[in-house]
Chains A and B, each alone.
Chain A
């Protein structure tokens, strides 16, 4: 069952189109990764989902209800963590967590204590004196100690140290195991790769790719390192990119849909050695981030 359904969402700020006809579907129990370059529209999408921004056009439904009109009701089931938690300087961290829990109306004290311990936070400090990472922890503790069905996280780990990031990942796994859903926007690709079932890539306000990591790998390049008996030139071959030569070895990337053709072609030269690495999310991502490159480029330089 889909719990987030975005159809034809367009958001304009004056003349500037921040989101252009965005379609997204997220299923129950899924951890959904949302990635894209700076200024792509991730935060804007999340704010529309939270009913903070009103869609210029299109429809955003969460749990089948309108994100703008039914915001208050919906938020009882949603926990949100912003990328930069600015809090009330005169209140202590513990007070802010309690305040959030009370305003939400559910959540448990036991879980709060456990999270404070796990995230190693001193809840008695005033928010004005916390470090950035510690402020971020407050937002995370408040979110994970509440009893939500959907967690919307906008770069939640910015500022966290690697240890705390691991604690964060464990909690994401935990809520997932409880059958809850997580919408995660992040720049930390290893995190997304590890946690997410489905991924959407947004660039300049448009969704340019969605699917599982496996499906996406299909659409990208495989990295090959080869050694052949006779020298081979690939400069003119369709779907080959970033050719590098070291000694007798040649390494390059191949568009997955052209893989068959390329292997057929190089096998004519007598393959001595062939290594293939499946693309990491980072490869995939970098390819999409690079704005001007055409996907079916011929040849290519390093």
Chain B
């Protein structure tokens, strides 16, 4: 019976790649090309040992450690390979985790929810074949990533990027990807819907990041409870420890085994965390498009709100110590002229605000794209078959998205301010104004989402490309030295850097107008195009 449980796996692997191969290819291409471009660009920015040491100094403080992990001992910063290993690893790891969550979620619970697995299982195909095909496809994807990325880094011929170290860098990411692939496979057994499975997996990713951030700053033991915590401890390009990779693989295997076991003992279509019973009647609020929309998206929004608040609060806590930390560091003061502590803190706040605002943009954009998701599932036709105008339905999504952007940015400010209780590093006003000033930049993304859903629904993926592009400009813009017009495409480039700069209302007004124009185009398109379902 057991050998039969896996019958037909080979063909199913092909099927999964046939279905999702193109997307996987785009993901791998993006991950690898950004990584290689960054690795190649570091030597052009950090030309001598001095500048590399200076980089090390700006990174070795609790705030940056909380954001990016512990890095290396000061004396190890000798080549740009080390900078690359420090600055790129964690965020790339998060991107790899997201890729794995999305793909495994799709080829497990989503296929089951839609009844595709039912048809497959009626064929002479084993009970565990679909899950094993999804698993093997994930393994192949991550191995490909590890090998191509590792090989690519080695091929760049940068000092200290020898073959073994480069492969370690790739393998670290691939193994971490597998941990999250495994988590998703597990949650696909536990949750009844694919939305639930991916949401649990994202929560796991967020918790992993937080545990690592707190652990890296306060207690190393804590970091070992997070896959990200051990992944940032390979000391790649310096010490080259392979144990984190092995640990990731071991954990992935254990979680996978549990998932296979749960898959084997449960009924098709069932879950271990099952749906609650619903209410018999809709409340009056639910009967409006906005009310329905809010209640459908509430769990998702609430989860993001909690996550964003907790991460901001964690950084807020670090921020409190930062001031004192810099005051004690005489050698930093020697390095950087007049009042370095404050500029460092300010710089950190500005980077943090940009990154947190980027994260806030995600649930806001998702809120709008949900309209497309509903259409794909043939659920919007229920509205349009009744007397509800398209403008009203799309308007309710837009309104909710704007509300979400306000809520998330306020939570960022509140999180940073409420916990960072020191005297004047971050006043209430600064916290709020530096967070809310990002709203128009987020609205551009919302407007773009409305535009695509309305006018070019097949290309909604472009919105995510734009979000990622903006993130790359924020995080690596200085490194890549793009021409100004490329940087200017990113809405985040036009946000005044509070607290260092004063508020300049000009760009904010312009961005608001542009987002309104995007939205209007979206609304016009939506009222004229075919609704697919």
Binding site for B on A (CB under 8 A): 13-14, 47, 50-54, 69-73, 75-76, 78-80, 82, 84-91, 95, 99-100, 102-105, 139, 152
Contact = CB atoms under 8 A, between A and B. Distances in A.
A51 B119 CA distance: 12
Contacts of B461: none
Interface in B123-145: 123-127
Interface in B80-139: 114-116, 118-127
Nearest to B265: A54
B15 A88 contact: yes
B382 interface: no
A78 B122 CA distance: 8
B47 interface: no
A134 B117 CA distance: 19
B118 A72 contact: no
A52 B118 contact: yes
Given A52-B268, A53-B268, A72-B4, A103 B114 contact: no
A80 B115 CA distance: 13
Contacts of A84: 115
A73 B124 contact: yes
Contacts of A71: 121, 127
B433 interface: no
B115 A103 contact: no
Given A52-B121, A82-B118, A99-B15, 5 more contacts: A47-B118, A47-B268, A51-B127, A72-B4, A90-B22
A71 B116 CA distance: 18
A73 B123 contact: no
Contacts of B114: 86
Contact of A53 (B1, B15, B20, B267): B267
Contact of A104 (B4, B121, B124, B270): B124
B271 to A, nearest CB: 11
Contacts of A54: 267
B372 to A, nearest CB: 14
B120 A72 contact: no
Interface of B: 1, 4-5, 7-8, 11, 15, 18-20, 22, 114-116, 118-127, 267-270, 274
A165 B274 CA distance: 37
Contact of A14 (B115, B119, B122, B274): B274
Contacts of A14: 274
B1 A82 contact: no
A69 B1 contact: yes
B119 A85 contact: yes
B120 A103 contact: yes
Contacts of A79: 122
Contacts of B115: 82, 84-86
Contact of B121 (A50, A90, A91, A95): A50
A76 B124 contact: yes
A52 B120 contact: no
Contacts of B22: 90
Contacts of A89: 19
A126 B118 CA distance: 20
A48 to B, nearest CB: 9
B126 A52 contact: no
Nearest to B12: A103
Contacts of B15: 88, 91, 99
A88 B121 contact: no
A84 B123 CA distance: 16
A13 B122 contact: no
B121 A73 contact: no
A90 B19 contact: yes
A75 B5 CA distance: 13
Contacts of B116: 86-88
19 contacts: A47-B267, A52-B121, A52-B267, A52-B268, A52-B269, A54-B267, A71-B121, A71-B127, A72-B5, A73-B4, A73-B124, A80-B119, A86-B114, A87-B119, A90-B19, A90-B22, A91-B18, A102-B11, A105-B124
Contacts of B1: 69-70
A161 B354 CA distance: 57
A111 to B, nearest CB: 17
B119 A82 contact: yes
Nearest to A79: B122
Contacts of B20: 90
A75 B125 contact: yes
A146 to B, nearest CB: 9
A50 B66 CA distance: 52
Contacts of A73: 4, 124
B11 A103 contact: yes
Contacts of B126: 72
A87 B115 CA distance: 8
Contacts of B274: 14
